[in-house]
């Protein structure tokens, strides 16, 4: 009779809100468009403080927060750069020093944070696989 015993595996599927990622492509809200030099500087400084851990992250995830936030912020940095380049093409060079100074430094820092977030995610994946292989949960 032991050979005829059926084992039932019960699987629960969590509601999509319980997953580590959001329902939109990016759950990180960022401003749009351009403003004056001082406002743009404050914007990128606020984003830099979040990536440095000086302010709370808009994404709550032990594994994905740095990667998600830094990726959204670098995309915003590139958006700002693209809009400034468009202005310069049209003859307005009022934000050129912002583009070649603080914005370039911000994009470089955000790129490093994306890399760090990726390494952290890879490390957590490796540790998780090691725990699983050793029988831990």
C-alpha–C-alpha distance, residues 33 and 79, integer Å: 8
Residue 90: inside a domain, yes or no?
Answer: yes
Q: Which domain holds residue 129?
A: 32-134
User: Which class for 113: exposed (0-12), middle (13-18), buried (19 or more C-beta within 10 A)?
Assistant: buried
Residue 108: inside a domain, yes or no?
Answer: yes
Residue with tokens 């292989």: 133
Whether 88 shows a pLDDT value over 90: the answer reads yes
Residue 16: inside a domain, yes or no?
Answer: no
For residue range 112-129, list pLDDT tens digits in order: 999 888 777 777 777 777
Residue 74: inside a domain, yes or no?
Answer: yes
Average pLDDT over the chain reads 82
Residue 120: inside a domain, yes or no?
Answer: yes
C-alpha–C-alpha distance, residues 61 and 121, integer Å: 11
Q: What is the pLDDT of residue 133?
A: 76
pTM: 0.71
C-alpha–C-alpha distance, residues 7 and 97, integer Å: 68
Q: Coil, helix or strand for 128?
A: helix
What does the block give as tokens for 53? 């851990």
Residue 80: inside a domain, yes or no?
Answer: yes
In the structure, what pLDDT confidence band is assigned to residue 8 with cuts at 50, 70 and 90?
A: low
Residue 103: inside a domain, yes or no?
Answer: yes
């Amino acid at each position: 009779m032991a050979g005829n015993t059926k084992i039932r595996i019960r699987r629960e599927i969590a509601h999509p809100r319980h997953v580590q990622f959001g329902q939109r492509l990016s759950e990180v809200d960022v401003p749009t468009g351009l403003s004056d030099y001082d406002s743009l500087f404050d914007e990128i400084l606020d984003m830099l403080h979040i990536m440095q851990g000086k302010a709370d992250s808009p994404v709550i995830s032990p594994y994905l927060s740095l990667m998600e936030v830094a990726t959204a912020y670098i995309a915003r940095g590139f958006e700002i750069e693209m809009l400034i380049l468009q202005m310069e093409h049209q003859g307005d060079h009022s934000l050129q020093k912002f583009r070649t100074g603080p914005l370039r430094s911000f994009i470089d820092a955000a790129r490093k944070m994306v890399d760090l977030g990726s390494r952290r995610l890879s490390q957590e994946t490796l540790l998780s696989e090691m725990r699983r292989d050793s029988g831990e949960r």
